[in-house]
Amino acid sequence: MAAKNGTKKKASARKSSAGIASAMDAESIELIPRRWWWVLLCVGVLSIALGLVMAAVYSIPYAIDEPGRMNLPFVDEYPTVVEILLPPFFAFFIGGILTFLGELLRRGTMIKNEVTNVAVFRPLPVVVHAAWILPPFVAWLIAMPWLLSLLVRHADAGQDAMILDAESDAVFLIGVYGGLAALMTGAVVGSLFKKLWFLAVVRRFGVPDSSSAFWWSFSFYWRLDVWLVALGVLLLGLAPLPWQLTSAGGTAVTLGGGAALLTLGLLTCTQFFRAGMPLGVGVSVTGGYRSLLTPRRP
């Protein structure tokens, strides 16, 4: 029975790989146009640059504790901290989406038909991939000390650090920014580690000629290995908060949980070669899994 189950799993994985090939060779395929990638990329980069400018200009008065009257676009004359942080947030959000789509269309092709959506992209060079770690990591380095300084300020004023009065919105949003930056840093680190290990396996043993249904689903389809690394780095990135609040239990949970998830994620990243798939390929989540495992009718 065990041998039969193992044979079925391998057969399902082979069907999934064949499903991708059939989706790319089908008569009814539709190639998503790539000609607008430069428009998306330019507008996205400009939006991110605008967000950086707004974040700096809008935050300077609060950094020196003299907000006073401000004559700036998108906010009132006497804005709250939330109103100061929201315009850069939307600029980063929109710019990030457009930059992501433009960069992917620049490096690859998206294929659509009645079976599934398949994306085939040219993988980033290792050096460029590693460079993508810097933006979210720098954002975390800016957000976390700022957040800790707010907590220290309230502690020095004799206020309860858990009830931050007028600046509670700022603490919440800066904490969200810092958490998202840590999450993105972990995702890029995980994907880079996954790529480096896979390339090392291919150089040493060649392209694997077999695949596992479990690792196809876990590592290729859902990318759960990268998610584990990202969640681990998220917890580690937030660990300074319970430490600053003198919460031994919270510090132990974030550090221990983060280290455990990070270790588990890195270990599972080393098994991507068992999925039987190359780098730079992805399928749509909605309906993609079942359609790939189900043989198409002639």
Give CA separation, 6 vs 10, 206, 213, 293, in Å.
6, 23, 9, 16
What is the predicted pLDDT for the residue at 46? 97
What is the predicted pLDDT for the residue at 174? 81
Angle between helices 168-205 and 134-156 (to 10 degrees): 150
Cα dihedral 25→31→37→39 (10° resolution) = 180
**Segments making up each domain of the chain, as ranges:** 124-278
Strand-strand pairing, 108-112 and 281-283: unpaired
Which three-class secondary structure state does DSSP give residue 70?
coil
Which three-class secondary structure state does DSSP give residue 108?
strand
Angle at 92 between CA 89 and CA 98, to 5 degrees: 140
Contact 284, 6 (CB under 8 A): no
Give CA separation, 255 vs 26, 61, 228, 264, 295, in Å.
49, 35, 14, 14, 46
What is the predicted pLDDT for the residue at 256? 98
- What residues of the chain score a pLDDT lower than 50? 1-17, 19, 23, 26-28, 162-166, 290-291, 293-298
What is the predicted pLDDT for the residue at 250? 93
Residue 65 contacts by C-beta under 8 Å, 6 or more apart in sequence? none
